[in-house]
């Protein structure tokens, strides 16, 4: 498999990047580390006349922290840099854990936060060579009548499989988006459409510029837990992020839970969060929240590990993330039996 | 003091490989070269009604399109049932239908989509048990080669040794279990690749990523209907074979045919997807094993029923099935054996040779069952092995002759190194240790009536030597092992040896890299060639030093008189003396070796088909996470008897590679299939273990001296992978009390088994 021909554009500044994007709306794809896009282009998953490489755009790289605005991470900041940052490790532990768990070392040192947040949704039918795909005919995403993995569904059920999004969602992250008409900032949650076919809500000519993560609420602990078969490399088969705040009595004052890999978007688990809020985190209460999260998960069939097993892993990852986050709370935490 | 052997010498290709300079088939670019691509069947079973290549040929840049009908259609293989390109029928998804040569890969790919094939889709069958039933779709037409075409049985191997009935009558206990093993791919780092060049004089040269250049030359010559002189196969550096590159592939055949048609060189390199899904696989098996043991723990009788799924074509399947009884007779002393095995065609990708040649499947079943027996009898697994291990001097029921055997010591060594007996059954829940044993051959006389190799050693006037042999280094390091043997025999430093391997036009014949035969069989040939050169060298030195040749020794590049130690000469001085005073020819040594073995008797399964047998024992230490069901191998200790260790570093490399391969099959590797379509043809989704998954690995070399082996050595290529899956399965049982009978041992199976037992989340 070879890369198709395309025009390669490598702007030096954000202004130039936005100009180039705006000049060819819909006929240009954005590349940062290339760890996902280049593979997809080889597999002819997308056709594009141009690739805009934003690696050289200095405004998109680096991270900055202030006690007023919190953490700002340029979209083209390498995941390895994010994971290795001491401040991120201390104040945004779950984000550092998520960045550290992406792919293999080579992916992390090329791949970027923006790229991982905007990772294309995946499924075992779509992410194949063109020769392979023609054996089955076109799936919904490729213009066919229905999904070929979840047979009979007239929508694309491909799953978001990035690790970082859930860890950012539980922190209330926002994304700064740049485009021909200027900049806008939206909650990260709104970046995702939930439609596997067009999963990222960006208008033609727009790009993600920065991810901002507010100052964590005082005393909150965070964690990300990922289930995969090989620690060396693998997308999550289940992933859960959690942020927990506890008061001095041990009552949960803040609870955020989000999942990845088990739906068409990374998503919060409001019911599970509600279970925890205002209660002491006993084993029983945690189990109740875990159940709520599990019932929300919709794992699509993959080539390994059947969906029922993966639901069990969702539950386990949620449980582990809650425990890890709670134990990182400033007030300290010990699990009480129900 | 030795000159080379027993030393931890670095490989002679190490620098080229680590710097990226090593040339593999796909690195070859010839002037005017075209790129070939294969059109593959999208159907598991279909009749080809018509192929229209007109639109493809009209695409600018396309130079040729070839279909099966344009070729001889001659079937090839050990038991021939496969054509280079299919003519009448396709039998699995990925079967090759046509080949295109174009000016670049993109054009060739584009042209594939323009070939119109009319198929009549036939019912397909994907499960060997269904394929064996009356009325199942018939995949191959009846022929003399096929045992029962109507029931898709390519081969049946039905044998008995001793008195099975009487054996079971002696048994105090009889154990019966069924085990299953999955389809596994070689997943070589280098996919299959071939570059063919046709010279107008009518000769084809094929640079092929292969393990067996001489056998591929035979297949190619037969299918192209050309004499062997007009087919030249050159093996460049090869990035792994493991049995997956020991037959002619459609890439080889198509590159040759397209080169002949266009008159230009043609390269065909498989994508990872093609290598994983359309080449060859380890046969999936279903093995029912019934074993009779005495109260004291002696195995007295064994009955084995085996269904081996052949996939669409034979590959080396019939030979593999034919070897399976051996795997039950050699390792443990089992006087009475009944074996009934079926090799069954399905419309899945073809199975064939893969490190162990059927032995890992048998061993998983047999050594898992040994563990069950140990627990049931209250005999620890070490003791149970000691009661049954093969010993040197034994002749097996099917007449294999065991000349050297360190199996008992291997079991003792792994026990000692891991404190096995004190930990087995006593570790906390979730942690376990497991023991298994294995053996394999050092050659295999079955395919041909000989198991042979030849070599030539040429001495140069600067004291260096060229070794020419058809033996094929495919990454296992045989160029290093053979170079060391030559250096040792000649008495010149290893770095002065240059290996030329393998080119069917230049190097003497060798059957290739399989059956763990290279060190042993090619090693003999190289040693004999070096000895022949050395005797000429010493003649020359004798003349130079005025002392009889019997008085001279050659060591580390110096020839020295034993009688008069002050008389010595450098090797190059002796060579130059020979050139100046001899008949004018440089020193040229020749050597050949044909293993003194019996060809496998297919009717009786009898014969000493290998000149020696290597043995080993392995202990796996695992941790099982009862919440996820994931198994982590913490440490793998292997004690191995490969005769005299020629190069301990190279041996450790083979052991570690074997552990990785065995662990992959045990825990991770599996294809997800839907009616013959492989859903995960990528290294992301077909999960081989990577560095992060590997355990600590310890290798203990238990030295024996194999009288028949070159410098006492035996093969080490395969046998260490053979016990690995059983060792891990046994350790999992020790850790959590759950026995997984079907590979791979995946987390979902473990959780299901735990929950059935009432343990777990």
Q: What is the DSSP string of A78-123?
A: BHHHHHH-HHHHHHSHHHHHHHHTSS-HHHHHH-BHHHHHTPPPB-
Q: List the B336-345 sheet strands across, edge first.
A: B153-161, B336-345, B299-311, B285-293, B173-181
Using a CB–CB cutoff of 8 Å, tell me whether A87 touches chain B: no
The CB density around residue B348, as the number of other CB atoms within 10 Å, is 30
Pairwise CA distance, residues B702 & B655, whole Å: 13
* Strand-pair partners of A208: A177
What's the first-to-final CA gap in chain A, in angstroms? 56
B73 phi-psi bin (left φ>0, alpha ψ -120 to 50, beta other): left
Distance CA B260, CA B36 (A): 13
Asked if the Cβ–Cβ distance from A304 to B680 is below 8 Å, we say: yes
> Which chain B residue lies closest to A125 (C-alpha atoms)?
B679
Peptide bond into B198 cis (omega under 30): no
CATH of domain B281-445+600-757: 3.30.365.10
* C-alpha B717, offset from chain centre: 8
Instruction: Give all strands (DSSP E) within B562-665, no chain letters.
Output: 568-570, 588-594, 613-624, 631-641
Chain centroid offset of residue A300 CA: 17
Structure tokens at A2: 């070879």
Q: Are A236 and A260 in contact (CB under 8 A)?
A: yes
DSSP string computed for B122-184 = ------HHHHTSTTSPP-S---TT-SBGGGTEEEEEEEEES-HHHHHHH-SEEEEEEEEE--B
Instruction: Name residues whose C-beta falls within 8 Å of residue B148's C-beta, 6 or more positions apart in sequence.
Output: B156
- Which is nearest to B233 in space by CA: B253, B250, B261? B253
Q: How far apart are alpha carbons B88 and B70 in whole angstroms?
A: 12
Fold (CATH) for B29-122+189-240+245-278: Aldehyde Oxidoreductase; domain 3 (3.90.1170)
List helix spans (H) across chain A: 14-23, 37-42, 79-84, 86-91, 93-100, 105-110, 113-117, 130-136, 164-169, 270-276, 283-296, 307-327
Q: What local confidence, expressed as pLDDT, does residue A162 receive? A: 98
Contacts of B64 (CB under 8 A, 6+ apart): B34, B100, B101, B258, B261, B262
How far apart are the C-alpha atoms of B66 and B56, rounded to whole Å? Answer: 11
Query: What does the longest C-alpha to C-alpha distance in chain B come to?
Result: 86
| Whether the Cβ atoms of residue B110 and residue B67 lie closer than 8 Å to each other | no
Integer Cα distance of B536 and B543 in angstroms: 11
d(CA A109, CA B661): 28
Residue of B nearest to A306 (CA): B748
> Which among A134, A303, A305 has CB closest to B42?
A134
Distance CA B681, CA B686 (A): 6
| CATH of segment(s) B452-594 | 3.30.365.10
Q: How far is CA B90 from CA A59, A121, B65, B118, in A?
A: 56, 35, 18, 12
For residue B309, the cross-strand partners are: B344
Q: What does pLDDT average to over chain B?
A: 96
DSSP assignment of B616-635 equals: EEEEEEEEE-TTT--EEEEE
Residue B25: φ, ψ to 5°: -55, -45
- pLDDT above 70 coverage of chain A, percent: 99
Decide: helix, strand or coil at residue B209.
coil
| 8 A C-beta contact, residue B62 and residue B107 | yes
Q: From residue B95, give the alpha-carbon distance in Å to each of A176, B49, B91.
A: 51, 15, 6
Closest A-chain CA to B37:
A1
- Is the full-model pTM beyond 0.90? yes
Q: Does A68 touch chain B (CB under 8 A)?
A: no
* Cis upstream peptide for B744 (omega within 30°): yes
**Which residues in B668-710 belong to E strands, given as ranges?**
673-674, 677-678, 696-701
Number of CB atoms found within 10 A of residue B332's CB: 22
What integer pLDDT is reported at residue B559 of this predicted model? 97
CA nearest neighbour of A24 among A36, A38, A7: A7
d(CA B245, CA B256): 17
A151 touches chain B (CB under 8 A): no
> In angstroms, what CA-CA distances link A103 with A89, A107, A234, B596, B651?
19, 6, 5, 52, 32
- Contact (Cβ atoms closer than 8 angstroms) between residue B125 and residue B137: yes
Q: Compute the average pLDDT of residues A226-234.
A: 96
Count Cβ atoms below 10 Å from residue B160 Cβ, excluding itself: 17
Q: How far is CA B268 from CA A135, B90, B198, B219, B592, in A?
A: 22, 21, 15, 18, 34
pLDDT beneath 50, residues of chain B: 761
Using the beta-carbon criterion (under 8 Å), do B690 and A232 form an inter-chain contact? yes
How many of the other CB atoms lie within 10 Å of CB of B671? Answer: 22
Residue B124 CB contacts under 8 Å (≥ 6 apart), including other chains: B43, B44, B45, B137, B347, B675, B676
CA angle A113, A118, A124 (to 5 degrees): 115
The answer to whether the beta carbons of residues B343 and B310 sit under 8 Å apart is yes
On the CB side of A120, CA atoms within 13 Å amount to 21
The pLDDT tens digits for A262-303 are: 999 999 999 999 999 999 999 999 999 999 999 999 999 999
Q: Identify the DSSP state of B94.
A: T
Q: Using alpha carbons, list the distances in angstroms from residue B107 to B35, B100, B271, B651.
A: 9, 9, 16, 45
Q: Strand, coil or helix: what is B278?
A: helix
The predicted structure's pLDDT at residue B761: 46
The residues near B381 (Cβ < 8 Å, ≥ 6 apart) are B370, B371, B374, B420, B424, B434, B435, B730
Q: Where are the domain boundaries for CATH 3.30.365.10 in chain B?
A: 281-445+600-757, 452-594
The conformation of residue A216, written as its DSSP 8-state character, comes to P
Rounded CA separation B80/B77 (Å): 4
How far does Cα A5 stand from its chain's mean position?
29
Q: A135 and B677: CB-CB below 8 Å? A: yes
Chain B touched by A303 (CB under 8 Å): yes
The 10s digit of each residue's pLDDT in B716-754 is: 999 999 999 999 999 999 999 999 999 999 999 999 999
Using a CB-CB cut-off of 8 Å, the residues of chain B touching A234 are: 684, 687
Nearest-neighbour CA in chain A from B747: distance (Å)? 8
Which positions in chain B have a beta carbon within 8 angstroms of at least one beta carbon in chain A? 40, 42, 93, 105-106, 109, 112-113, 271, 273, 627-628, 630, 668, 670, 672, 677, 679-682, 684-685, 687, 689-693, 746-748, 751, 761
Structure tokens given for A152: 């009979």
Does A49 contact chain B (CB < 8 Å)?
no
Residue of A nearest to B112 (CA): A131
Cα–Cα distance for residue pair B751/B736, rounded to 1 Å:
11
Q: Which residue of A has its CA nearest to B691?
A: A232
From CA A192, how far away is CA A165, in angstroms rounded? Answer: 10
Contacts of B422 (CB under 8 A, 6+ apart): none
Q: Which residues pair with A304 in a beta bridge?
A: none
Does A309 contact B at CB distance below 8 Å?
Answer: yes
Average of per-residue pLDDT values in chain A:
95
CA B195 – CA B207 distance, rounded (Å) = 5
Residues whose CB falls within 8 Å of the CB of residue B534, separated by 6 or more in sequence, listed in order = B489, B490, B491, B554, B589
Residue A52: left (phi > 0), alpha (psi -120 to 50), or beta?
beta
Q: Is B677 helix (H, G, I), strand (E, B) or coil?
A: strand
Residue A337 has pLDDT above 80, yes or no: no
């Amino acid at each position: 498999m070879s890369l198709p021909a395309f025009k390669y554009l490598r702007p030096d500044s954000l202004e130039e990047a936005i100009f180039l994007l705006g000049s060819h709306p819909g006929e240009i794809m954005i590349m940062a580390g290339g760890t996902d896009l280049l593979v997809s282009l080889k597999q002819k998953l997308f056709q594009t006349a141009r690739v805009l490489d934003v690696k050289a755009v200095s405004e998109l790289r680096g991270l900055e922290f202030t006690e007023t605005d919190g953490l700002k991470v340029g979209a083209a900041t390498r995941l390895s840099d994010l994971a290795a940052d001491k401040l991120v490790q201390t104040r945004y532990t779950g984000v550092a854990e998520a960045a550290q768990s992406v792919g293999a070392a080579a992916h992390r040192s090329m791949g970027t936060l923006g790229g991982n947040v905007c990772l294309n949704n995946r499924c075992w039918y779509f992410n194949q060579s063109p020769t392979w795909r023609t054996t089955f005919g076109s799936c919904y995403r490729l213009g066919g009548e229905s999904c070929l993995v979840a047979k009979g569904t007239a929508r694309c059920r491909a799953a978001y499989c990035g690790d970082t999004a859930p860890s950012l969602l539980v922190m209330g992250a926002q994304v700064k988006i740049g485009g021909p008409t200027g900049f806008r900032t939206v909650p990260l949650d709104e970046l995702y459409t939930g439609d596997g076919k067009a999963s990222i809500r960006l208008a033609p000519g727009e790009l993600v510029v920065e991810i901002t993560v507010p100052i964590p609420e005082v005393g909150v602990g965070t964690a990300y837990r990922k289930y995969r078969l090989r620690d060396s490399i693998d997308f999550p088969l289940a992933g859960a992020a959690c942020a927990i705040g506890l008061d001095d009595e041990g009552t949960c004052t803040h609870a955020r839970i989000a999942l990845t890999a088990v739906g068409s978007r990374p998503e919060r688990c409001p019911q599970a969060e509600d279970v925890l809020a205002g209660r002491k985190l006993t084993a029983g209460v945690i189990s109740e929240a875990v159940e709520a999260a599990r019932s929300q998960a919709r794992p699509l069939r993959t080539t390994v590990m059947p969906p029922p097993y993966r639901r069990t892993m969702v539950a386990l990852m949620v449980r582990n993330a809650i425990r890890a986050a709670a134990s990182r709370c400033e007030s300290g935490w010990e699990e009480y039996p129900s | 003091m030795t000159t080379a052997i027993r030393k931890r010498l670095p490989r002679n290709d190490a620098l080229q490989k680590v710097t990226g300079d090593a040339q593999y088939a796909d690195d070859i670019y010839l002037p005017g070269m075209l790129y070939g691509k294969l059109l593959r069947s999208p159907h598991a079973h279909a009749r080809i009604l018509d192929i229209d290549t007109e639109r493809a040929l009209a695409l600018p840049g396309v130079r040729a399109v070839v279909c099966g009908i344009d070729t001889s259609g001659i079937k090839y293989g050990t038991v021939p049932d496969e054509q280079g390109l299919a003519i009448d029928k396709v039998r699995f998804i990925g079967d090759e239908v046509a080949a295109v040569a174009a000016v670049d890969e993109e054009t060739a790919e584009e042209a594939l989509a323009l070939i119109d094939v009319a198929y009549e889709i036939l019912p397909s069958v994907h499960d060997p048990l269904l394929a064996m039933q009356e009325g199942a779709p018939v995949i191959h037409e009846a022929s003399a080669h096929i045992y029962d075409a109507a029931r898709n049985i390519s081969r049946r191997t039905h044998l008995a040794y001793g008195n099975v009935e009487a054996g079971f009558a002696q048994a105090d206990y009889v154990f019966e279990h069924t085990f299953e093993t999955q389809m596994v791919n070689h997943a070589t780092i280098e996919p299959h690749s071939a570059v063919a060049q046709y010279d107008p004089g009518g000769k084809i040269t094929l640079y092929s990523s292969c393990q067996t250049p001489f056998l591929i030359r035979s297949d190619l010559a037969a299918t192209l209907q050309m004499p062997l002189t007009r087919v030249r196969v050159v093996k460049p550096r090869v990035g792994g074979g493991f049995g997956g590159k020991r037959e002619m592939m459609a890439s080889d055949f198509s590159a040759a045919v397209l080169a002949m048609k266009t008159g230009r060189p043609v390269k065909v390199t498989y994508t990872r997807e093609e290598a994983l899904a359309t080449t060859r696989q380890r046969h999936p098996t279903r093995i029912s094993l019934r074993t009779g043991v005495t109260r004291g723990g002696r195995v007295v009788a064994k009955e084995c029923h085996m269904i081996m799924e052949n996939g669409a074509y034979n590959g080396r399947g019939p030979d593999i099935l034919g070897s399976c009884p051996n795997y039950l007779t050699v390792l443990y002393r089992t006087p009475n054996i009944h074996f009934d095995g079926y090799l069954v065609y399905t419309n899945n990708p073809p199975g064939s040779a893969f490190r162990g040649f059927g032995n890992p499947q048998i061993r998983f079943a047999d050594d898992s069952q040994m563990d069950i027996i140990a627990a049931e009898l209250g005999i620890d697994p070490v003791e149970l092995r000691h009661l049954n291990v093969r010993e040197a001097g034994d002749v097996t029921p099917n007449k294999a002759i065991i000349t050297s055997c360190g199996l008992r010591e291997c079991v003792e060594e792994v026990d000692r190194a891991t404190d096995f007996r004190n930990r087995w059954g006593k570790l906390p829940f979730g942690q376990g240790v497991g023991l298994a044993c294995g053996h394999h051959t050092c050659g295999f006389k079955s395919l041909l009536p000989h198991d042979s190799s030849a070599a030539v050693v040429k001495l140069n006037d600067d004291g260096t030597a060229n070794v020419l042999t058809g033996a094929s280094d495919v990454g296992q390091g045989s160029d290093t092992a053979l170079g060391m043997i030559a250096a040792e025999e000649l008495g010149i430093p290893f770095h002065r040896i240059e290996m030329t391997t393998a080119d069917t036009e230049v190097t003497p014949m060798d059957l290739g890299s399989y059956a763990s035969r290279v060190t042993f069989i090619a090693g003999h040939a190289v040693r004999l060639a070096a000895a022949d050169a050395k005797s000429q060298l010493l003649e020359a030195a004798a003349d130079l030093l005025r002392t009889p040749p019997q008085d001279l020794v050659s060591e580390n590049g110096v020839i020295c008189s034993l009688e008069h130690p002050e008389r010595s000469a450098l090797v190059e001085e002796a060579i130059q003396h020979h050139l100046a005073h001899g008949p004018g020819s440089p020193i040229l040594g020749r050597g050949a070796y044909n293993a003194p073995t019996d060809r496998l008797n297919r009717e009786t399964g009898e014969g000493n088909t290998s000149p020696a047998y290597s043995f080993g024992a392995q202990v796996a230490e695992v941790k099982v996470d009862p919440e996820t069901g994931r198994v982590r191998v913490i440490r793998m200790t292997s004690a191995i008897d490969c005769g005299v260790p020629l190069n301990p570093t190279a041996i450790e490399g083979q052991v570690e590679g074997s552990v990785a391969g065995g662990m992959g099959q045990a825990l991770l590797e599996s294809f997800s299939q839907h009616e013959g379509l492989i859903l995960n043809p990528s290294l992301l989704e077909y999960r081989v273990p990577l560095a992060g998954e590997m355990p600590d690995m310890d290798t203990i070399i238990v030295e024996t001296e194999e009288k028949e082996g070159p410098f006492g050595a035996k093969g080490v290529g395969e046998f260490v992978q053979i016990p690995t899956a059983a060792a891990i399965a046994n350790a999992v049982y020790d850790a959590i009390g759950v026995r997984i009978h079907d590979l791979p041992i995946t987390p979902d199976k473990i959780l299901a088994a735990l929950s059935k037992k009432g343990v777990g989340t």
